[in-house]
Amino acid sequence: MAGAKGREIRLSTDTALLKVIAMISMVIDHVGKMFFPGMPWMRLAGRLAFPLFAYCIAAGCVYTKNPLRYALRVLVLALVSQPIYVLALGHVSGAMQAAVAGGLTVRGGLYWYVSSLETANILFTLLPGILIIWSLQEKRYIATGLVALAVWYFSPSINYGWRGVALILLFWALIDRPLPSLFWTGGFMAWWAITGGTGYHIGPIGFGIQGYALLALPLIYLPVKTGIKIPKWFFYAFYPLHLLVIYLVLQLG
């Protein structure tokens, strides 16, 4: 399927299905983290989510006629979701608690919000991927460099760090070349898993939890077409709403 820039997507074009699977995986991951820490399979299942979201972002950048408008939507959603994210998933730091210890003020609330960005939600990983793709498409290489430097600098604060952004770019760069894409993307993800820890093993090979993200690749590279349709607003609303539900259940408990 040809995109707005004339590029043909030769990997999965069923991004609606991939988004549904990614959302289910994400919910399992977050519910497992907050409610069932003794059930590690839920965290493992959650590793499917990010590669699927990363691919859908890459495909979205090929489809869209206006990547900057796409980036703006993701930015607004990231900003709105951030406080819900840190509250729902237990990322409230001591500095954040101190900022509002004497009561909620405008200054304290602002400091609380800025401090929360030390653990930024996943949308702040997807956003620079869109901006770098836009800059490369438009040959604005100074912007490419600036965003890349920002990613490197803030890497400790964003989900999956610079590797997460690099994965989006790999999917995008080779989206019309299935075999090279599988080789380079799969190789990158395997390297990420092996260098990310040794909590799991296949024979003598140790790898981190991110190794389970490789299980998402068949979903991306197999030519499946279900015809599922999802309203755009649902995909955008789902992220903060599922976090809000988790937070409210925690409060009720």
Report how far apart, in Å, the C-alpha atoms of 177 and of each of 23, 30, 119, 172, 173 are.
26, 34, 35, 10, 9
- The pLDDT-based confidence of 4 (bands split at 50, 70, 90) is low
- The pLDDT-based confidence of 1 (bands split at 50, 70, 90) is low
- The pLDDT-based confidence of 210 (bands split at 50, 70, 90) is very high
- The pLDDT-based confidence of 5 (bands split at 50, 70, 90) is low
Question: Percent of the chain having pLDDT more than 90?
Answer: 87
Instruction: Check residue 168 and give its pLDDT.
Output: 98
- State the number of CA atoms in the 13 A half-sphere of 59 facing the CB: 19
Average pLDDT of the segment spanning 194-212:
88
- The pLDDT-based confidence of 172 (bands split at 50, 70, 90) is very high
pTM: 0.95
Average pLDDT of the segment spanning 80-89:
98
Give the whole-angstrom CA distance, residue 225 versus residue 227: 6
Whether the per-residue pLDDT at 67 is higher than 80: the answer is yes
Two structure tokens written together for 93: 């730091």
Q: How far apart are the first and last CA of the chain?
A: 48
Long-range contacts of 22-30, Cβ-Cβ distance < 8 Å, separation of 24 or more: 22/48, 22/49, 22/50, 22/52, 22/53, 22/56, 23/49, 23/235, 23/238, 23/242, 25/49, 25/52, 26/242, 27/242, 30/88, 30/89, 30/242, 30/243, 30/246
Identify which has the larger pLDDT, 200 or 238: 238
How buried is residue 220: exposed, middle or buried, by Cβ count under 10 Å (0-12/13-18/19+)?
buried
Helix (H) / strand (E) element for 185: namely: helix 178-195
